[in-house]
Amino acid sequence: MVHLGQPAGTGAHRGPAHERFQAAGLRDPAVGPSMADHMGRTPLADVVGPGWDVALEPVADDIAAMGDFLRGELAAGRSFLPAPDRVFAAFAVPFEEVKVLVLGQDPYPTPGHAVGLSFSVAPGVRPLPRSLQNIFAELSEDLDVPKPTDGDLSPWVDQGVMLLNRCLSVAPRDPGSHRGKGWEAITEQAVRALAMRSAPLVAILWGRDARSTKEWLLDAPAIESAHPSPMSAARGFFGSRPFSRTNAALEALGASPVDWSLSRATERG
């Protein structure tokens, strides 16, 4: 099970990119003026699920460059979200076990919200981000289940759902601030690598940015709609039934459906 605040991988697997990935190590959770001096060059295999270091080998240099960028931000006194040890949290799901890919844009810019999983927040966060409130409203309507009240989506991750943002970091209170810095090449490779497997895959693409990745998915089914943001949810997200449609697509591929209910923390009515 994936737990917030823990490294995603076990370090059991070492791919050919081992030495170059060390330059991107971002495991130290401490944040402070001297953070850049103490960020270890940790092998990526130690912070991602099995198979991802090999899948990301073509962008090993990009990952190293993003490690340099983030250390430079901290050295200049500029923090970023999520915490350094959560930057690669989306890659906790073993590469061969990903069966659903949910693509977001970039982490929540509100301090205390971003945990490295698109749309998810830490247990107990209140109030929930508006996009997540809309996701839960659609979930309840789609599957006729109680509306969740806790925004921790790790139970989805435990079932093979990858919650990936196109950019893996953001400056606090500055949405989109790390776009164009280099994350896009890395997450593009992640999507392409998933699509190249023989394992079943269904993608949930919310919003224009996510839908622009559809060509990388080859023949994998894509569930598309407007973004759940308050600015666009009423223009095609509400009523799109992404959860039931995803489960139907999974079953058509011979894969087991996802229990989306998050039933451990729900409200009636």
In SS3 terms, the chain reads as: CCCCCCCCCCCCCCCCCHHHHHHHCCCCCCCCCCHHHHCCCCCHHHCCCCCHHHHCHHHHHHHHHHHHHHHHHHHCCCCCECCHHHCCHHHHCCHHHCCEEEEECCCCCCCCCCCCCCCCCCCCCCCCCHHHHHHHHHHHHHHCCCEECCCCCHHHHCCCEEEEECCCCEECCECCCCCCCCHHHHHHHHHHHHHHCCCCCEEEEECHHHHCCHHHHCCCCEEEECCCCCCCHHHCCCCCCHHHHHHHHHHHCCCCCCCCCCCCCEECC
Give the confidence band of 43 by pLDDT, cuts at 50, 70, 90: confident
Nearest alpha carbon to residue 193 among 168, 216, 213: 216
Give the confidence band of 41 by pLDDT, cuts at 50, 70, 90: low
pLDDT digits (tens, 9 = 90+) for 148-190: 999 999 999 999 999 999 999 999 999 999 999 999 999 999 9
In which residue are the tokens 């495991």 written?
Answer: 27
CA–CA gap between residue 149 and residue 197 (Å, rounded): 35
List C-alpha distances in Å: 59 to 169, 185, 217.
17, 7, 18
The pLDDT of residue 16: 39
Domains of the chain from N-terminus onward: 18-267 (3.40.470.10)
Tell me what the mean pLDDT of segment 50-79 comes to.
Answer: 96
- pTM comes to 0.86
CA–CA gap between residue 141 and residue 135 (Å, rounded): 10
- Give φ, ψ of 204 to 5 degrees: -110, 115
Tell me what the mean pLDDT of segment 128-151 comes to.
Answer: 98
For residue 223, what are the contacts with CB-CB under 8 A and spacing of at least 6? 202, 203, 204, 205, 240, 242, 245, 246, 249
Both tokens of residue 41? 């060059």
Number of other CB atoms surrounding residue 16 within 10 Å: 11
Q: Is 106 a catalytic residue?
A: yes
pLDDT digits (tens, 9 = 90+) for 78-126: 999 999 999 999 999 999 999 999 999 999 999 999 999 999 999 999 9
Res. 10: pLDDT tops 70: no
Contact 214, 224 (CB under 8 A): yes
Catalytic residue among 106, 150, 152, 209: 106
59 sits in the region (left: phi over 0; alpha: psi -120 to 50; else beta) called alpha
- Whole-number average pLDDT of the chain: 87
